[in-house]
Amino acid sequence: MTSFAFIVHPVEPQRDVARKFPLLGRLPPSVVDFGSRFFPPVRLAHITGIRSEATGQEIEGWLLACPLTPKQMLQAPLSTAYDKIVQTGHLAERLGARLLGLGAFTSVVGDAGVTISNRLSIPVTTGHSYTVALTMEAVHEAAKRMNIELTDCSAAIVGASGSLGKACSHLLARNVPRLILIGRHRDRLQAVQHLVESFGTQAVVATDLAALSEADLVVAVSSATVPIIKPEHLKRGAIVCDVARPPSVHPEVRRVRTDVLLIDGGVAAVPGEMNLGFDIGLPPGTVYGCMAETMILTLEGRYECFTLGKELSLQRIDEIAQLARKHGFHLSNLYSLGKNLTPEMIARVKQKAHQALYVKI
Ligand SMILES: NC(=O)c1ccc[n+]([C@@H]2O[C@H](COP(=O)([O-])OP(=O)(O)OC[C@H]3O[C@@H](n4cnc5c(N)ncnc54)[C@H](OP(=O)(O)O)[C@@H]3O)[C@@H](O)[C@H]2O)c1
């Protein structure tokens, strides 16, 4: 049977390590963080039951762990991160995978997969194209459910100068009249500003998250290793789509800002009776967009480096979305911190948003 492999890594070290090694998960976070560096790559699970709705073909896959935390990926010398990811890629080769997908920070470090792909004999994809396609679908769906017209919105992208951020800014510029581009480096943001303004969309840049107070819609795609979006940053009644892993939105937002609709971005429903064989923290039958891209390409027999590097192609984003529909992948239900978003939850958010307005007046 045709197989793929997908690399993940501990995003929240203690919790994620405990999912595979319960005893190791009891160690203090700093020990887990430091010690994981000396661990070899781990075969986490055998994935079965993914079946194309177009062809009936079934594929299998391997979920592999690269034992580096986000902090280590960004702070260790780049060569250390590359070596660990490539070592995990070699495990995929030995297992017979025809395509390798890079998850979370394994697709963020350095040149976003280019060097890793050059050092492996199987093709590699970051999955970012389908992640962006799903994020846009999720944003449109959430706006519809909140009765918000995107054509009246100010939208902010946190991490706008990054790989996902640039593509999301580009696509949102087609729908919203005003964009707030947020990141750490003004010069990088200005390059994106020039691009979106060339479509006639007004754009401002900001390096301070206080700029979020004007945003009706927030797409969080930053590579920050800790949550940076806090309750005090957000506008009343805003929709916040958090695609970042680890999440960019602070857990307090959910508790304190009941007037804000917080949704998990980039989650796909998979056709067939998928058994992931491991808890990745998502509802059954769903995976992150980047993993879904690897599955879609495998079902299509496209064993190629479909998405590599920091610059995404809008044409590829459209193409993978079409291939996804063909094989039966689609945007999952909307989830908020892993919980299904029900009409009652949305009604409560709307009610709180109106109450907050009343109190403010
Ligand atoms: N859900 C999914 O399926 C999925 C798939 C792929 C990736 N992801 C996640 O998406 C995120 C972005 O990935 P990427 O490849 O686009 O990363 P990237 O190319 O490295 O871009 C990261 C962006 O975040 C900004 N940033 C970093 N730290 C920040 C901070 N403290 N405050 C404000 N902005 C900050 C950077 O700004 P500067 O350039 O100014 O430093 C840059 O704009 C990551 O968390 C990744 O794990 C999720």
pLDDT digits (tens, 9 = 90+) for 83-96: 999 999 999 999 99
Tell me how many helices (H) and strands (E) the chain has.
12, 17
| Burial zone of 61 (CB within 10 Å; 0-12 exposed, 13-18 middle, 19+ buried) | buried
Paired with 261 in beta bridges are 239
Q: For ligand 1, atom 41, name the residue with the nearest CA.
A: 184
Backbone angles phi, psi at 46, to 5 degrees: -105, 120
- Whole-number pLDDT of residue 356: 61
Other CB atoms within a 10 A radius of the CB of residue 148 amount to: 17
Query: What angle, 0 to 180 degrees and rounded to 10, lies between the N-to-C axes of helices 163-172 and 314-327?
Result: 90
Residues 142, 181: Cα–Cα separation, whole Å: 21
| Burial zone of 202 (CB within 10 Å; 0-12 exposed, 13-18 middle, 19+ buried) | middle
Say how many Å lie between the CA of residue 162 and the centre of ligand 1: 6
The 10s digit of each residue's pLDDT in 25-38 is 667 777 767 767 77
Q: Is the CB of residue 306 less than 8 Å from the CB of residue 293?
A: yes
Residues 90, 11: Cα–Cα separation, whole Å: 22
Q: 78, 181, 208, 223: which to mutate for ligand 1, most atoms within 8 A of CB?
A: 223
Backbone angles phi, psi at 351, to 5 degrees: -60, -45
Other CB atoms within a 10 A radius of the CB of residue 182 amount to: 28
Q: Is pLDDT at 7 greater than 60 in this prediction? A: yes
Name residues contacting ligand 1 (CB within 6 A).
Answer: 104-105, 107-108, 112, 127-128, 131, 158-165, 183-185, 188, 221-224, 228, 243-245, 266, 288-290, 310
What tokens does 313 get? 């192609």
Which sign, positive or negative, has the C-alpha torsion 141, 153, 249, 222? positive
Q: For ligand 1, atom 38, name the residue with the nearest CA.
A: 184
Exposure letters 211-248 (e unless 16+ CB within 10 A, then b): bbeebbbbbbbbbbbebbbeeebbbbbbbbbbbbbbbb
Out of 188-192, 270-274, 279-283, pick the least confident.
279-283
**Ligand 1 atom with least separation from CA of 290:** 3
Place of tokens 């998502």: 282
**Ligand 1 atom with least separation from CA of 243:** 1
Residue 339's pLDDT band (cuts 50, 70, 90): confident
Residue 23's pLDDT band (cuts 50, 70, 90): low
Verdict on whether the full-model pTM lies above 0.85: yes
Helices (H), the chain: 13-20, 29-35, 70-75, 78-94, 114-118, 128-145, 163-172, 186-197, 252-256, 289-299, 314-327, 343-360
Say how many Å lie between the CA of residue 60 and the centre of ligand 1: 30
Q: For ligand 1, atom 18, name the residue with the nearest CA.
A: 162
Out of 20-24, 207-211, 221-225, 273-277, pick the least confident.
20-24
What tokens does 157 get? 């992208």
Say how many Å lie between the CA of residue 105 and the centre of ligand 1: 9
Q: For ligand 1, atom 9, name the residue with the nearest CA.
A: 244
Closest CA to 355 of 218, 231, 257: 257
**Ligand 1 atom with least separation from CA of 265:** 1
Q: 74, 170, 222: which to mutate for ligand 1, most atoms within 8 A of CB?
A: 222
Average pLDDT, the chain: 92
Max mean pLDDT range (32-46, 48-62, 347-361):
48-62
Q: Is pLDDT at 40 greater than 90 in this prediction? A: no
Other CB atoms within a 10 A radius of the CB of residue 277 amount to: 14
Residue 358's pLDDT band (cuts 50, 70, 90): low
Q: Assign domain 135-265+334-360 to its CATH superfamily.
A: NAD(P)-binding Rossmann-like Domain (3.40.50.720)
Residues 82, 40: Cα–Cα separation, whole Å: 14
Residues 40, 67: Cα–Cα separation, whole Å: 7
CA distances from 174 to 151, 169, 177, 218, 263 (A): 9, 9, 8, 16, 22
Say how many Å lie between the CA of residue 66 and the centre of ligand 1: 19
Q: In the chain, list all ranges with CATH 3.40.50.720.
A: 135-265+334-360
HSE-up (13 A, CA, CB side) for residue 298: 31
Say how many Å lie between the CA of residue 54 and the centre of ligand 1: 34
**Ligand 1 atom with least separation from CA of 134:** 3
CA 107 to chain centroid: 11
Closest CA to 264 of 335, 347, 192, 342: 335
